[in-house]
Amino acid sequence: MRSSVVGVVVAVATLTVATACISRSGSNSSQAFQPARTSDGKPDLNGIWQALNTANFDIQAHAARPALAMMPAAPRSGVAGLVRATHVELPHPSVRLLGAVGGVPAGESVVEGGEIPYQPWAVAKKKENAEHWLERDPEIKCYMPGVPRATYMPFPFQILQGTDKIVMAYEFAGASRTIHLDKVPDSPAPTWMGWSRGRWDGDSLVVEVTDFNEETWFDRAGNFHSDQLHVTERYTPTSADHLLYEATIEDSKVFTRPWKIRMPLYRRLESGNKLLEYKCVEFVEELMYGQLGVVDPATGQKNK
Amino acid sequence: MNARHTVPPLALAAAVAALGATAIGIAVATAASQNPTNAQPGATSSWTQAKTPWGDPDLQGVWRYEATIPLERPARFEGRESLTDEEVKESQRRENEQAEQRLAGAEGAAVGRRSVAESPIRGNEYNSFWQDHGRPRQVYRQTSLVIDPKDGRLPYTPDAKKAEARATARYGVGPYESYLDPDTGERCLTDGVTALMWQGPNGGHNRIVQSPGYVTILHEEYLDRRIIPTDGRGHGSIRQWFGDAVGKWEGSTFVVDTINFIDRTNYEWASVFTRPSETLHIVERFTRTGADSMEYRITVQDPTTFEKPWTAVIPISRLSDATQIYEYACHEGNYAMTNLLAGGRADAAKRSR
């Protein structure tokens, strides 16, 4: 008797898990899940969301390593006859004091198929970017993160869904985007966060993002784009507390074909949760300007 | 109102030099704006307050301060709360004339003064290119934005008054020894909560977007943003540049109560708006008075700076639906900071010779 009850429970549970797996397995999952609606009948995407992955370190698959900035170890000298078998890299002195805090966690690729279809010249540029990460990554200088990177920074963002405008408010650097659901003219100039036009496609919010400058990156690994970047984002509710985020990347100056990233976004469920300030401009002033003035505030000494 | 509230020169110049987006954007936006209302606030009688689909009063759109009213009452209007009909007429005639001069590219006109000589800031011409006054500014009867105290003056404590005087004397003069010395605007941080709403010419476009339980204000300037909950929650405990704001609806009026400011401005010359003390408490009341007009009323309480609370009534205008907020990439293009510090070093070298 008892064992048959357990059997039924297990069977139901298995079925539930199987159904859940199916419903989360692709962008068609919205057919299975009926999202809450706003008062004008659109899927309700309001809330504070966050990616939980390592894409901001590297959107491609990557092993764990000791630091973001590395340098080759000095050639070994000493014990005669000992030959080092492999090339060794160590944390760069500028980040060494962080120890394990400064390490890079491993992560799977968020790029569909794993490969980014760079043109040959761009492969070299990406490698160079990675080698000069400390000087080049715009995140270090608190510059606006661009799209899609803003979505998977290790900070929450809030969707505020108005009727003909949707605000996407990012905690990092206080960056914001207005998604225009109504008709608007073209952007008059290139931008960091792009010019976003949105539409509803079934239960998905689809956003065409254009008019980028070439200053932003995709991650801390030096993945980059040009001012021809065109991002098509798709936000699809897959449960009350999950969105599927997909972004198709097109840039004929840098890539040989369009490519795509995808990841779940998770609702921040803490009660009374709110987006807080991360006005990081003041955090980077010493780095950017400390040695340019008459006096360096960090040392109190006159600059040379 | 101190000149620096309307003309922070360096950061804005940097922003526009970097992108051009702000200047171009505003020019497009204001050209598309129509029908300057030179009337008193209150506007059309046939107007009724629209509601959002979820039933809140609808304040959405792009808003901007376009009036000529100074924050504090000028000495020449001492004892008078209102202008006469003749004064309003003459003042509006001058504003219209000046707008024409701006369109014609007359020198000085672009910065909202009748000539370069009238400007309180040296290097005015340099600053003028990013300023945009759009259509003619609107003349109201009010002789000061401050309506309480009755004398139209900010009730500074004696110490705060001295600090304000020192700050004013130093603005645009220096010395600039490090990046901590320019004001918060020049550092691309902020010009402060309320000032953003009424700094018309400095990219003072503000888009209000509403969603259930929230009113969001996107300020073009500094990309600043306020996400104000209206879900009945109380204040949080975290101090921020923009404090902790909670909102509620009182009839058609949106009331915002903000405390928990943090003072990280480093410098005395920051004004009351950009140097909030930790005792600052601001109550803002947004009330639409017509299709294209809103009364923005602020009551400021701060025993550290003021002897008593004061209230200002600020008329703001709704711009046409075509108006957009553009990306104000101030920090990303703050070349002026580098140049300012190089100038500071050159000055120091000269002094030591």
* Closest CB from B216, B241, B329 relative to A279: B241
Phi, psi of A49 (to 5 degrees): -125, 160
Residue B153 sits at the chain A interface (C-beta within 8 Å): no
pLDDT exceeds 70 at position B335: yes
Q: Which residue has the tokens 């259509």?
A: B135
Q: Measure Cα distances from B292 to A208, B37, B66, B253 in Å.
A: 31, 9, 12, 15
Using DSSP bridges, classify how beta strands A195-201 and A176-180 pair: parallel, antiparallel or unpaired.
Answer: parallel
**ipTM of this predicted complex?**
0.87
Number of CB atoms found within 10 A of residue B327's CB: 28
Distance of CA A128 to the CA centre of its chain: 21
The reply to whether residue B209 touches residue A160, judged by beta carbons under 8 angstroms, is yes
**Where on the phi/psi map is residue B299: left (φ > 0), alpha (ψ -120 to 50), or beta?**
beta
C-beta of residue A232 within 8 angstroms of C-beta of residue A215: no
B231 touches chain A (CB under 8 A): no
Residue range of the domain that includes B88 = 3-352
For residue A73, what pLDDT is reported? 85
C-alpha B288/C-alpha B315 separation (Å) is: 10
Q: What is the DSSP string of A91-137?
A: E-HHHHTTGGGG-B--B---BTTS---B-HHHHHHHHHHHHTHHHH-
Which chain B residues are closer than 8 Å to A281 by Cβ? 187-189, 331
Q: Tell me how crowded residue A26 is: count the other CB atoms within 10 A of its CB.
A: 14
What are B31-55's pLDDT values in tens digits?
Answer: 333 333 344 444 456 899 999 999 9
The minimum CA-CA distance between A275 and chain B, rounded to whole Å, is 8
Q: Which of B215, B331, B351 to mutate to test binding with chain A, by most A CBs within 10 Å of its CB?
A: B331
Which is nearest to A282 in space by CA: B259, B266, B217?
B266
Verify whether the Cβ–Cβ distance B341 to A40 is below 8 Å: no
Give the A window 255-294 contacts with B, CB below 8 Å.
Answer: 272, 274-277, 279, 281-282, 285-286, 288-290, 292-294
Using an 8 Å CB-CB cutoff, list chain B residues near A297.
178-180
Write the pLDDT tens digit of every residue in B131-169: 666 678 889 999 999 999 999 999 999 998 888 888 878
pLDDT 10s digits, B192-237: 887 777 776 666 889 999 999 999 999 998 889 999 999 999 999 9
Selecting from B54, B178, B227 the residue whose C-beta is nearest the C-beta of A169 gives B227
Helix axes B335-352, B9-19, angle to 10 degrees: 130
Instruction: Please give the Cα distance from A172 to A169 (Å, whole number).
Output: 9
Q: Which residue of A has its CA nearest to B217?
A: A167
Rounded Cα gap, residues B131 and B76, in angstroms: 27
Question: Does A298 touch chain B if contact means CB atoms closer than 8 Å?
Answer: no
* Bridge partner residues of B315 (DSSP): B295
**Residue contact B344–A293, C-beta within 8 A:** yes
What single letter denotes the amino acid at residue B22? T
Contacts of A82 (CB under 8 A, 6+ apart): A76
**C-alpha dist (Å) from residue A77 to A71, A81, A141, B123:** 18, 10, 39, 62
Percentage of residues of chain B with pLDDT beyond 70: 74
pLDDT band at A78 (very low <50, low <70, confident <90, very high): low
Question: pLDDT band for position B174 (50/70/90)?
Answer: confident
What residue ranges define each of the domains in chain A, with the CATH number in brackets? 35-59+110-284 (2.40.128.20), 65-76+83-104 (no CATH)
Write out pLDDT tens, residues A145-155: 999 999 999 99
- Structure confidence at residue B22 (pLDDT): 36
* Chain A (163-182) residues lying within 8 Å, Cβ to Cβ, of chain B: 163, 165-167, 169, 174-176, 178
Between CA B330 and CA B13 the distance in angstroms is 9
Contact indicator for A298, B180 with CB cutoff of 8 Å = no
| A274 half-sphere exposure, CB direction, 13 A CA radius | 23
Q: Rg of chain A over CA atoms, in angstroms?
A: 23
Per-residue model confidence (pLDDT) at position B17: 36
The one-letter amino acid code at A257 reads R
Mean pLDDT across A179-196 = 95
What is the CB neighbour count within 10 angstroms for residue A71? 14
SS3 B262: coil
Cβ density class B146-155: b for 16+ within 10 Å, e for less: bbebeebebb
Confidence of residue A265 (pLDDT cuts 50, 70, 90): very high
Q: ∠ at Cα B214 (B210, B215), nearest 5°?
A: 50
**Residues in chain B within 8 Å Cβ distance of A158:** 227
Contacts of A6 (CB under 8 A, 6+ apart): none
Q: Is B60 at the interface with chain A, CB within 8 A?
A: yes
How many domains would you assign to chain B?
1
Which of B20, B189, B236 is closest, CB to CB, to A282? B189
CA distances from A297 to A304, B181, B257 (A): 14, 10, 35
Q: What is the mean pLDDT of residues B316-325?
A: 91
Q: Check whether A140 has a pLDDT greater than 50.
A: yes
Whether residue A294 and residue B211 make contact (CB cut-off 8 A), yes or no, is no
B211–A contact, CB cutoff 8 A: yes
Helix ranges restricted to H, A132-267: 133-136
Answer whether A144's CB lies under 8 Å from B332's CB: yes
Q: For the whole model, what pTM was predicted?
A: 0.86
